[in-house]
Chains A and B, each alone.
Chain A
């Protein structure tokens, strides 16, 4: 069960999908994103309504659901794409202690 109210049980796999990111962002921040087009690196979280506090909640939730340790780079991610890439790069390396 996720921390953020209303988050569905994660189907944790070896990859984060944009659909999963949409669910997590909504559960943590109340912001409803559209998975289509989220891979646009120009799309900014802030412009989508996810502020700095909301992003911290999303990062904490990602760390709880996936075997990743994201740190400051993710906490200051500008776009959903950047967040997505950070999580998937770590998952691909499989380097979480």
Chain B
């Protein structure tokens, strides 16, 4: 089982992000360093501490969903289906032509159908008055929302996949972990093709208020576009986002046999836990550093070969300092040379979805030879003293890219992407 270790290619990507539906729009948003945060429109947020979010302007019909699909699927599943369709088209993958039993789905989501569950609960409970809800007011299709399992199920049905199909729900590392698990499935020979990604649509009263309660989100309500400011000393928390992204992963040989264009390879994946606190992070970042070191070792890359680091960069003080320490520990002196940036500065923090959105950004960055910027980074936190690519994107060839995530529950994950035609590094 371990001896297989087949190379895994990324052959397609699809994105639904705040301010950017589709890969082309997303590429443009990243290149421009544009931020998508605004006053919340999805519900009436007056009375809440944080009243801003990075929302998707998502039209299900324009994204190719039938009225029937849109009616059946929760918002986060709609995002996922749109992203998957784009990724599959990008990969030129004819899912009907492949072996369905060797095709699988691995999708991440942190909070699944909470937004819809809350909405239906409010009706059935008469605005929270009746603990024993009147079940006659509950939609008969809510079993599809009750667990996030149907996220992977809907995608599998769309593709006709019959292989490994699961949803991964490790909080804010769900996206990285879902793609990491898919990578392992192909690498170890359990599948030839995996559609992997993540989706969340958490912008709802209960989720906004629960982050209010722990002061985790930004309350910069008067200037939404500048609220998400990772690594900036004037940051005041993360900005809630929503969206989805999907990657098509394939056994490299499988991709070559069908003549697919390979964006990049997934070289390594590792996840570790800090076993410290459900929300707190240590100053040292040892466990994230360990995940980075393990992912690099699996990819057979040395720290100095990393050309770009896509940070978790949520814009909370403890995170920004935690991962700065983790990069210094895992990358050594190279941490001060390699560009590091946060996509959350532009599209906010969509919980489980963001890890997949960020990996999609990394694939685009490698395709384009572009380092996405950290928007709003005007006054660097003196304790965050790395090259965080403030404000403006850069042109640069990227052969090896590292993306990390960190989340409630203590999860720390890392993925390494590689170019199939990467330069051979001379021994230093």
A and B touch in the complex (CB under 8 A): yes
Binding site for B on A (CB under 8 A): 51-53, 56-57, 60, 75
Give the dominant DSSP class at A's interface.
Answer: helix
Residue pair A56, B213 in contact (C-beta under 8 Å): yes
What distance in Å separates the Cβ of A34 from its nearest Cβ neighbour in chain B? 25
State in angstroms the CA–CA spacing of A59 and B192 once bound together: 53
Among B215, B277, B279, point to the contact of A75 (Cβ < 8 A).
B215
Other CB < 8 Å A-B pairs besides A53-B214, A75-B215, 8 of them?
A51-B277, A51-B280, A52-B279, A52-B280, A53-B278, A56-B213, A56-B215, A57-B213
Q: 10 A-B pairs, CB-CB below 8 angstroms?
A: A51-B277, A51-B280, A52-B279, A52-B280, A53-B214, A53-B278, A56-B213, A56-B214, A56-B215, A60-B213
Using an 8 Å CB-CB cutoff, how does the interface string of B258-293 with A read, 1 for contact, 0 for none? Answer: 000000000000000000011110000000000000
Write out the residue numbers on chain A whose beta carbons fall within 8 Å of the beta carbon of B277: 51
Number of A-B contacts (CB under 8 A): 13
Of chain B, the residue at the smallest CB distance from A60 is B213
- Interface pairs A-B: 4 shortest CB-CB: A56-B214, A53-B214, A53-B279, A56-B213
Using an 8 Å CB-CB cutoff, how does the interface string of B364-407 with A read, 1 for contact, 0 for none? Answer: 00000000000000000000000000000000000000000000
State in angstroms the CA–CA spacing of A75 and B213 once bound together: 11
What distance in Å separates the Cβ of A77 from its nearest Cβ neighbour in chain B? 14
State in angstroms the CA–CA spacing of A13 and B279 once bound together: 35
Binding site for A on B (CB under 8 A): 213-215, 277-280
Write out the residue numbers on chain B whose beta carbons fall within 8 Å of the beta carbon of A57: 213
What distance in Å separates the Cβ of B262 from its nearest Cβ neighbour in chain A? 45
What distance in Å separates the Cβ of B214 from its nearest Cβ neighbour in chain A? 6
Write out the residue numbers on chain A whose beta carbons fall within 8 Å of the beta carbon of B279: 52-53
State in angstroms the CA–CA spacing of A60 and B210 once bound together: 13
What distance in Å separates the Cβ of A47 from its nearest Cβ neighbour in chain B? 15
Of chain A, the residue at the smallest CB distance from B318 is A52
State in angstroms the CA–CA spacing of A60 and B209 once bound together: 13
What distance in Å separates the Cβ of B409 from its nearest Cβ neighbour in chain A? 13
What distance in Å separates the Cβ of A28 from its nearest Cβ neighbour in chain B? 12
What distance in Å separates the Cβ of B196 from its nearest Cβ neighbour in chain A? 32
State in angstroms the CA–CA spacing of A56 and B213 once bound together: 7
State in angstroms the CA–CA spacing of A51 and B214 once bound together: 12
Write out the residue numbers on chain B whose beta carbons fall within 8 Å of the beta carbon of A53: 214, 278-279
Of the listed residues A51, A53, A56, A75, the one surrounded by the most CB atoms of chain B closer than 10 A to its CB is A53
What distance in Å separates the Cβ of B236 from its nearest Cβ neighbour in chain A? 11
Of chain B, the residue at the smallest CB distance from A52 is B280
What distance in Å separates the Cβ of B340 from its nearest Cβ neighbour in chain A? 27
Of chain B, the residue at the smallest CB distance from A56 is B214
State in angstroms the CA–CA spacing of A57 and B213 once bound together: 8
Write out the residue numbers on chain A whose beta carbons fall within 8 Å of the beta carbon of B215: 56, 75
Write out the residue numbers on chain B whose beta carbons fall within 8 Å of the beta carbon of A56: 213-215
Write out the residue numbers on chain A whose beta carbons fall within 8 Å of the beta carbon of B278: 53
What distance in Å separates the Cβ of B382 from its nearest Cβ neighbour in chain A? 21
State in angstroms the CA–CA spacing of A91 and B349 once bound together: 39
Write out the residue numbers on chain B whose beta carbons fall within 8 Å of the beta carbon of A52: 279-280
What distance in Å separates the Cβ of A27 from its nearest Cβ neighbour in chain B? 16
State in angstroms the CA–CA spacing of A57 and B280 once bound together: 16
State in angstroms the CA–CA spacing of A5 and B280 once bound together: 24
Write out the residue numbers on chain A whose beta carbons fall within 8 Å of the beta carbon of B280: 51-52
State in angstroms the CA–CA spacing of A22 and B280 once bound together: 24
What distance in Å separates the Cβ of B104 from its nearest Cβ neighbour in chain A? 37
State in angstroms the CA–CA spacing of A53 and B215 once bound together: 10
Write out the residue numbers on chain B whose beta carbons fall within 8 Å of the beta carbon of A60: 213
State in angstroms the CA–CA spacing of A57 and B279 once bound together: 14
What distance in Å separates the Cβ of A3 from its nearest Cβ neighbour in chain B? 11
State in angstroms the CA–CA spacing of A60 and B280 once bound together: 20
State in angstroms the CA–CA spacing of A58 and B278 once bound together: 18
State in angstroms the CA–CA spacing of A51 and B280 once bound together: 9
What distance in Å separates the Cβ of A73 from its nearest Cβ neighbour in chain B? 13
